[in-house]
């Protein structure tokens, strides 16, 4: 039974968690965490790589020992060292580390002092005030833990889009291998490209439903069959994800796809329009009385109520129907519109590939430009570089640009916004760069007012160009820090600054709501991968999904500009 990259990465992440709780060497812990990221970011299945005899040690940061553990998990679904740690350390402790405000040291202290080894234990102790009495915790930490427990419970049933995407592709490939299947698609929030997915809804056109049900329930990742019918079935995968399938007739396919894609709010709004015209829309078609007048395609469904086709990513009842009526729907951005990437790291800070390797990968994508944005000194955990090293990087970029006339390497840096709103390099150094990506990595727990003022002060600096991952969130792991993005967007408009849509699937930061708010305010967005390896450049697709949900068109996106237009735009901002 093959294992997805996500499952293998999760095992390595858990191994790192348990080692950290145990107090193991930090370099060893970091090696496992880096291995998890490397595995997760591979565009190709690691299990397939092993089957095809590829050398895993060619992957960034993977040595002999890590490669052996990857092969062990891929072949058995287990790692002996992880099994040993799970016997030594209470099962719930690694889960507690996922709660915001708790790291390995605090989890170990809570376990040693109060015997806490589960979320239930933690909540009970926090509500009773026991945690606040432990030295180094206090009432504020206790309240933060309670908030973290609340948000963790709310998000525990949804998985990140990239994980759902890997499963969906494998399931569709499995179903499409059946000759009787004429068409198969995943609907629901997955088709709308939401950043998290609760379950998968598959629709199939097939003349032999029984064969499809056999194929569906026989998928190798199915752990239990919840129900099986003639045209509908439900299974739960070993990951815990529920998957539903429906076989629908061709004449109802468009109506069913519209109905099961959602959102519920969008569907209700469309049906209300239909009712005013004496029509009824459901999953079987569009009806006038008993007569089916449309439903074979989604275009037919929309046409029946006087609307043009509305892209799935827009279907949230946030003004898309009104825009469709006005003939004012956006021409949503596509991957082909992207001309380059404005946020990427190399081995000079915490990247896994050299500058030249990153350049070659960008060239293979047909990019006109790539920005090198290694971390500034403040971010010691990511090996931030000082001014002297940055100047050497600039010299190296000049040499690379001479060697590669078909791509421009832009001189940049991911510059930390310090607590007082100043930037992490002197202005005379920053002026040597083509532009900057300015981000927050520390002091994320400031009040909303202080955090906002910190960013506004930074944006007043003429060397500030792009505000990187503007809320600092990690999906299903860390909540956004408190910040007034409406004020930030307004300041960006006034000062000619830009905001980043960080395409890393753990971030997708900005969210769709604020992407649209920036668009409506006339503030351009940089869709950037924050790549730490050549493989991470592929995250651009995840950013495009989010951008489309935020109504972004190519004209709203900084890196849809050609290189000369881009240079003029960022130079005008920084001078």
Domain boundaries along the sequence of the chain = 1-85, 90-156, 159-247, 252-326, 335-574
- What CATH number is given for 90-156 in this structure? 1.10.150.20
- pTM equals 0.82
Residue 430 has pLDDT above 90, yes or no: yes
Q: In this predicted structure, what is the pLDDT of residue 104? A: 79
- What CATH number is given for 252-326 in this structure? 3.30.210.10
* Residue range 211-220: mean pLDDT, rounded: 95
DSSP conformation letters of 216-228: HHT-TTEEEEEEE
- The Cα 67–Cα 87 span in angstroms is 23
- The Cα 20–Cα 18 span in angstroms is 5
Nearest to 333 by CA among 546, 562, 564: 546
Residues 6+ apart with CB under 8 A from 336: none
User: What are 286-323's pLDDT values in tens digits?
Assistant: 999 999 999 999 999 999 999 999 999 999 999 999 99
* Residue range 4-33: mean pLDDT, rounded: 87
pLDDT bracket for residue 102 (50, 70, 90): confident
In the chain, helix, strand, coil percent, each to 5?
50, 15, 35
232-237 long-range contacts, CB within 8 A, separation 24+: 237/167
Q: In this predicted structure, what is the pLDDT of residue 573? A: 64
* Residue range 275-291: mean pLDDT, rounded: 95
- Which sign does the torsion angle of CA 281, 284, 286, 288 carry? negative
* Residue range 534-555: mean pLDDT, rounded: 97
Q: In this predicted structure, what is the pLDDT of residue 106? A: 86
- Which sign does the torsion angle of CA 254, 169, 237, 87 carry? negative
What percent of the chain is predicted at pLDDT more than 90?
Answer: 72
Q: In this predicted structure, what is the pLDDT of residue 43? A: 72
* Residue range 191-220: mean pLDDT, rounded: 95
Average pLDDT score over the chain: 92
User: What are 144-190's pLDDT values in tens digits?
Assistant: 888 778 766 555 578 999 999 999 999 999 999 999 999 999 999 99
Structural class in CATH, domain 335-574: alpha beta
Q: In this predicted structure, what is the pLDDT of residue 155? A: 54
* Residue range 68-95: mean pLDDT, rounded: 87
* Residue range 104-124: mean pLDDT, rounded: 86
Q: How many Cβ atoms from other residues are within 10 Å of residue 157's Cβ?
A: 12
The matching CATH number, chosen from 1.10.10.10, 1.10.150.110, 1.10.287.70, 2.40.70.10, for 1-85 is 1.10.150.110
Residue 136 has pLDDT above 90, yes or no: no
* Residue range 130-144: mean pLDDT, rounded: 86
Q: How many Cβ atoms from other residues are within 10 Å of residue 565's Cβ?
A: 12
Residues 6+ apart with CB under 8 A from 83: none
> Pick the residue with more confidence: 141 or 338?
338
- By the 8 A CB rule, do 308 and 301 touch? no
pLDDT bracket for residue 59 (50, 70, 90): confident
Lowest mean pLDDT among 78-87, 99-108, 125-134: 99-108
Lowest mean pLDDT among 26-30, 281-285, 494-498, 542-546: 26-30
Architecture of the 159-247 domain: 2-Layer Sandwich (3.30)
pLDDT bracket for residue 432 (50, 70, 90): very high
pLDDT bracket for residue 141 (50, 70, 90): confident
- Cα–Cα distances (Å) from 159 to 128, 154, 223, 242, 477, in that order, read 32, 12, 18, 11, 11
- The Cα 272–Cα 197 span in angstroms is 27
Residue 143 has pLDDT above 90, yes or no: no
Residue that has been written with the tokens 């955090």 in this structure: 451
User: Would 1-85 and 90-156 be classified into the same CATH topology?
Assistant: yes
* Residue range 407-412: mean pLDDT, rounded: 98
- By the 8 A CB rule, do 413 and 437 touch? yes
- The Cα 179–Cα 206 span in angstroms is 9
> Pick the residue with more confidence: 156 or 267?
267
Cis before 78? omega within 30: no
The radius of gyration of the chain's CA atoms, rounded to the nearest angstrom, is: 25
What percent of the chain is predicted at pLDDT more than 70?
Answer: 98
408 forms beta bridges with 369
- The Cα 503–Cα 313 span in angstroms is 16
Lowest mean pLDDT among 60-64, 268-272, 336-340: 60-64
């Amino acid at each position: 039974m093959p294992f997805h990259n996500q499952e293998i990465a999760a095992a390595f992440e858990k191994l790192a968690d348990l080692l950290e709780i145990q107090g193991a060497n930090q370099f060893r812990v970091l090696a496992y965490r880096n291995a998890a990221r490397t595995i997760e970011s591979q565009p190709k299945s690691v299990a397939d790589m092993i089957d095809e005899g590829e050398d895993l040690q060619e992957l960034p940061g993977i040595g002999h020992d890590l490669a052996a553990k990857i092969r062990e998990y891929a072949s058995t679904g287990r790692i002996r060292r992880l099994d040993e740690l799970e016997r030594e350390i209470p099962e719930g402790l690694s889960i507690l580390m996922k709660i915001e405000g708790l790291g390995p040291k605090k989890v170990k202290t809570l376990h040693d002092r109060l015997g806490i080894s589960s979320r239930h234990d933690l909540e009970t102790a926090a509500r009773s005030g026991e945690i606040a009495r432990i030295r180094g915790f206090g009432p504020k930490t206790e309240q933060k833990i309670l908030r973290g427990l609340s948000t963790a419970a709310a998000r525990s049933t949804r998985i990140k889009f990239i994980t759902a995407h890997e499963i969906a592709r494998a399931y569709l490939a499995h179903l499409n291998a059946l000759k009787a299947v004429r068409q198969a698609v995943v609907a629901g929030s997955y088709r709308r490209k939401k950043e998290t997915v609760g379950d998968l809804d598959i629709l199939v056109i097939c003349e032999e439903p029984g064969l499809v049900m056999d194929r569906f329930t026989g998928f190798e990742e199915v752990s239990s069959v919840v129900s099986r019918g003639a045209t509908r079935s439900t299974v739960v995968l070993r990951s815990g994800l529920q998957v539903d399938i429906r076989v629908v007739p061709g004449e109802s396919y468009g109506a069913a796809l519209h109905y099961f894609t959602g959102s519920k709010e969008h569907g209700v709004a469309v049906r209300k329009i239909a009712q005013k015209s004496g029509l009824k829309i459901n999953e079987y078609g569009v009806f006038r009385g008993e007569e089916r007048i449309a439903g074979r395609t989604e275009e037919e469904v929309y046409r029946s109520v006087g609307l043009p086709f509305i892209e799935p990513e827009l279907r949230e009842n946030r003004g898309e129907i009104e825009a469709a009526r006005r003939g004012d729907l956006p021409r949503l951005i596509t991957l082909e519109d992207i001309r380059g990437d404005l946020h990427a790291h190399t081995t000079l800070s915490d990247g896994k590939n050299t500058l030249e390797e990153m350049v070659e990968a960008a060239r293979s994508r047909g990019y006109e430009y790539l920005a090198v944005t290694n971390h500034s000194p403040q971010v010691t955990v990511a090996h931030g570089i000082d001014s002297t090293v940055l100047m050497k990087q600039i010299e190296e970029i000049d040499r690379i640009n001479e060697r590669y006339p078909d791509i421009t390497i832009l001189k940049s840096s991911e510059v930390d916004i310090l607590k007082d709103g100043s930037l992490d390099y002197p202005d005379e150094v920053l002026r040597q760069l083509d532009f900057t990506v300015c981000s927050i990595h520390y002091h994320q727990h400031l009040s909303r007012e202080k955090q906002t003022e910190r960013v506004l002060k930074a944006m007043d600096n003429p060397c500030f160009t792009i505000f990187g991952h503007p809320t600092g969130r990690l999906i299903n792991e860390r909540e956004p820090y408190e910040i007034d993005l409406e004020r930030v967007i307004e300041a960006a408009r006034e000062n000619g600054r830009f905001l980043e849509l960080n395409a890393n699937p753990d971030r997708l930061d900005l969210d769709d709501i604020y992407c649209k708010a920036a668009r409506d305010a006339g503030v351009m967005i940089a869709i950037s991968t924050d790549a730490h390896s050549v493989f991470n450049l592929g995250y651009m697709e995840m950013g495009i999904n989010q951008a489309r949900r935020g109504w972004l068109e190519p004209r709203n996106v900084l890196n849809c500009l050609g290189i000369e237009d881009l240079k003029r735009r960022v130079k005008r901002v920084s001078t």
